[in-house]
Structure 1
Amino acid sequence: MKIQEQENILADMCVIAPTVYRDNRGCFFESWNEREFSQLTGANFHFVQDNRSVSKAHVLRGLHYQVSRPQGKIVTALKGTIFDVAVDLRKSSPTFGKWFGIELSGINKLQVWIPPGFAHGFLVCSPVAEVAYKTTDYYSPKDERCIVWNDPVLDIDWQARDTPILSSKDAAGDPFELAELFE
């Protein structure tokens, strides 16, 4: 596992590139190693929940976060390709109000660490994508919030060629200016 340098990455985030061993049978890699992650990043988080979603092309999920029980996440695309986005909602952060996006796919095997205090979302860029993410806290429906995906203040370039498919909850997300934020 190594940390991959990325231009414009937000404070405390990182992109993880696993060491992939390939041969004529296929490949093998560790998708998670807590000891290595802690040594590389200095972050010491324990994950309590694993989530998976399967979505069709043009589905956009997000921008989600939890206020009282913020979740750190390691996100990976197991199959297909997504454009993954994180927004820093920590008012004390040097990258507050900024967003970072990266292509994650079953082919590139990259993972992104999104610390607590960020909103998260992704757009499916392939016919189907299966996404997995580990979280540092449990899902809490009463704490869940959503920022509208096309907020003009954030001005996220989702790299979408077509109109995204949204849930009613995501379509009705709050504007960034009204979002509950972190200190």
Structure 2
Amino acid sequence: MAIQVTATALPEVKIIEPKVFGDARGYFYESFNAVEFAEQVEAGVTFVQDNHSRSAKGVLRGLHYQIQHAQGKLVRVVEGEVFDVAVDIRKSSPNFGKWEGLILSAQNHRQLWIPPGFAHGFVVLSDSAQFLYKTTDYWFAEHERSIIWNDVDIGIEWPINFEPMLAAKDAAGKRLSEAEVFA
């Protein structure tokens, strides 16, 4: 198999590490294989959209989710380094309000699978970062929601010592206790 899959403290959120083949010329790896994803990560997933963002150091995007047309996301970084976070926002889950975070970078080639029912965000730690992700549903502005990045009830330990740059919608994010969440 060309990938190694590791469960996180949130069992549905998985770290995917591809086998990287490198030599003096550079490297090659398979960034996605539908058969391996179904066998090792989650069966029955269909990706419908690919997204690509570039952000400067200190930009924090999230914590985003769609209350309808919930999206699963397979995320990775192809330039730079980010601290990536998933938060379980399924009220019926024993892990409701818990989070998982890890470094994704162009150097470690890690990917993170974030299934529907989780909020997602990241902060850029390098001078800039290019962030790619596949989604299981399309983006619908009317269903997008945002939880504030520094909600004390969630307590994400962002590895930053500065005030991040936020989009207006993220600065206006709600606390988890006030947000629409999944049943």
1:153 corresponds to? 153
Q: Deviations over 1:85-121 (max 9, x none)?
A: 0100112222111000000000000000000010000
1:122 corresponds to? 122
Are residues 1:3 and 2:5 paired? Answer: yes
**Which structure 2 residues correspond to residues 1-183 of structure 1 after superposition, within 5 A?**
1-6=3-8, 9-183=9-183
SS at match of 1:69: coil
Runs of 4+ aligned residues of structure 1 deviating over 3 Å after TM superposition are none
SS at match of 1:126: coil
Runs of 5+ in structure 1 lacking a partner? Answer: none
Deviation at 1:5, TM superposition (A): 4.8
SS at match of 2:177: helix
- Cα 1:49–1:42 change in 2 (3 A) is closer
Instruction: Judge conservation of contact 1:69–1:143 (CA < 8 Å) in 2.
Output: yes
Q: What is the CA–CA distance in structure 2 between the aligned matches of 1:143 and 1:101, rounded to whole Å?
A: 24
Q: What is the CA–CA distance in structure 2 between the aligned matches of 1:118 and 1:142, rounded to whole Å?
A: 18
Instruction: Judge conservation of contact 1:73–1:135 (CA < 8 Å) in 2.
Output: yes
Q: Specify the code of the residue in structure 1 equivalent to 2:120.
A: H
Identity of aligned residues (%): 50
Instruction: Judge conservation of contact 1:13–1:112 (CA < 8 Å) in 2.
Output: yes
Please give the TM-score of this superposition, normalised by the length of structure 2.
0.96
Count residues with an aligned counterpart: 181
Q: What is the CA–CA distance in structure 1 between the aligned matches of 2:38 and 2:130, rounded to whole Å?
A: 26
Instruction: Judge conservation of contact 1:54–1:129 (CA < 8 Å) in 2.
Output: yes
Instruction: Judge conservation of contact 1:11–1:93 (CA < 8 Å) in 2.
Output: no
Q: Deviations over 1:41-93 (max 9, x none)?
A: 24320100000110000000000000011000000011000000010011222
Single out whichever of 32-41 and 128-137 deviates more from structure 2. 32-41
Single out whichever of 80-89 and 35-44 deviates more from structure 2. 35-44
Deviation at 1:163, TM superposition (A): 1.1
Please give the TM-score of this superposition, normalised by the length of structure 1.
0.96
SS at match of 1:68: coil
Deviation at 1:159, TM superposition (A): 0.9
Q: What is the CA–CA distance in structure 2 between the aligned matches of 1:116 and 1:43, rounded to whole Å?
A: 14
CA RMSD of aligned residues (A): 1.0
